[in-house]
Amino acid sequence: MDQTFLVNVFGSCDRCFKQRALRPKSEQLNYCSLCAEIVKATEGLRLSQMLSSYSQSILCLVLAVHQVAERVEALGQFVMKTRRTLKGHGNKVLCMDWCKDKRRLVSSSQDGKVIVWDSFTTNKEHAVTMPCTWVMACAYAPSGCAIACGGLDNKCSVYPLTFDKNENMAAKKKSSVAMHTNYLSACSFTNSDMQILTASGDGTCALWDVESGQLLQSFHGHGADVLCLDLAPSETGNTFVSGGCDKKAMVWDMRSGQCVQAFETHESDINSVRYYPSGDAFASGSDDATCRLYDLRADREVAIYSKESIIFGASSVDFSLSGRLLFAGYNDYTINVWDVLKGSRVSILFGHENRVSTLRVSPDGTAFCSGSWDHTLRLGWAWAAKREL
């Protein structure tokens, strides 16, 4: 509006009724310049009051678990330390898995060695040398009679475990079950020894029949390397979740090969995914230094576990038996234990001398085991008397 050509109309102001030069406010109303300013100011005040009342009602919307869990009793501080160390690997430990007997575990390392341990005695029961280095994935069969492993060889091989002391494990014929076009990042048997699920750097996951090596189903959808997977607890059906370098966590239907849900809130690669014990949610650990909880029925992220002081990526996550605690191993050599409901950190575990690469809670929830680039695996459990871990 060109002020110099503004024609001032003189008349009675509709607010103060004085005879003034009027500035037209609207079709019906004319205000003098003073009243025009006052009206503008009061309108602005009303708008801001409206906005603040809206924002207060928005804050009442539940967007995260901790808002609902306010009334839940907080956990006391835990005191942590390593209870037992498993030594024997010659290089970085990359992956580990518990046997269903809650006692044995299998671990794999960068130098190609795969070792089966008895965690009660720390004895090594079996050892295999793979023809490739960087064995990034290993899994124990549900029966306890075989292990699967793979890595830079782009394959997943299944080794039957022999308990005959005279038989050399390396001589035992192994079967190459899975063939991918890039490295194997994760593998897991399904409910039986007969089927195995794999994740690969080629961006796909696949379901294989162990005996024939046949591909039963493939899962396409990730836009980059898939780094981890976890099967839903058996009661909740045939689904699994995978996480990848495309920052996405995807939930798949194993029968149809379809992606049923996808979550993309992480800011970097997702290194680890693990289902909540009830199967209604899953947690993820990422290079963005956060762990997050996604609820499947609400179809969104419901919690984020982070601290400003934590700047290194989380490599591995697992829940305690009740799902109240989330154990997460980080690249800064520590394990942080989070209160899943409240979103706060309950404890830090020190002990590893290099990054923690893998972490699993035992099947009965009695203990947890972490593997690290410092060539060792460490076991921890909780004492009843003082609630020490």
Give the interface with another protein as residue ranges (CB under 8 A).
62-65, 67-69, 72, 75, 83-84, 103, 119-120, 221, 258-262, 276-278, 280-281, 295, 297-300, 302, 320-325, 340-341, 361, 364-368, 379, 381-389
Minimum Å gap between C-beta 117 and another protein is 12
Decide whether 1 or 60 has the Cβ nearer to another protein. Answer: 60
Decide whether 313 or 343 has the Cβ nearer to another protein. Answer: 343
**Alpha-carbon dihedral of residues 169, 174, 179, 182, nearest 10 degrees?**
10
> Which of 351, 270, 360 is CA-nearest to residue 321?
360
Decide whether 78 or 312 has the Cβ nearer to another protein. Answer: 78
At 271, list the tokens: 């290194």
Decide whether 160 or 323 has the Cβ nearer to another protein. Answer: 323
> Which of 272, 267, 276 is CA-nearest to residue 243?
272
Decide whether 199 or 325 has the Cβ nearer to another protein. Answer: 325
Neighbours of 204 (CB within 10 A): 19
Decide whether 307 or 386 has the Cβ nearer to another protein. Answer: 386
CA pair distance 215, 53, nearest whole angstrom: 58
CA pair distance 208, 150, nearest whole angstrom: 14
Minimum Å gap between C-beta 9 and another protein is 56
Minimum Å gap between C-beta 334 and another protein is 17
Minimum Å gap between C-beta 256 and another protein is 11
Exposed e or buried b for every residue in 310-328, given b needs 16+ CB within 10 A? beebbbbbbbbeebbbbbb
Report, in this order, helix, strand and coil percent for the chain, each rounded to 5. Answer: 10, 45, 45
Decide whether 159 or 368 has the Cβ nearer to another protein. Answer: 368
Minimum Å gap between C-beta 344 and another protein is 14
- Point out which residues pair with 229 in neighbouring strands: 242
Minimum Å gap between C-beta 52 and another protein is 23
Decide whether 91 or 217 has the Cβ nearer to another protein. Answer: 217
Half-sphere exposure of 127 (CA within 13 A, CB side): 10
Minimum Å gap between C-beta 342 and another protein is 10
CA pair distance 42, 359, nearest whole angstrom: 60
Q: How would you classify residue 88: left for phi > 0, otherwise alpha for psi between -120 and 50, otherwise beta?
A: left
Minimum Å gap between C-beta 183 and another protein is 25
Decide whether 353 or 388 has the Cβ nearer to another protein. Answer: 388
At 153, list the tokens: 């060889």
Minimum Å gap between C-beta 271 and another protein is 22
Residue with tokens 């963005």: 288
Phi, psi of 244 (to 5 degrees): -145, -175
Q: Both ends of the chain: CA-CA distance in Å? A: 73
- DSSP three-state, residue 117: strand
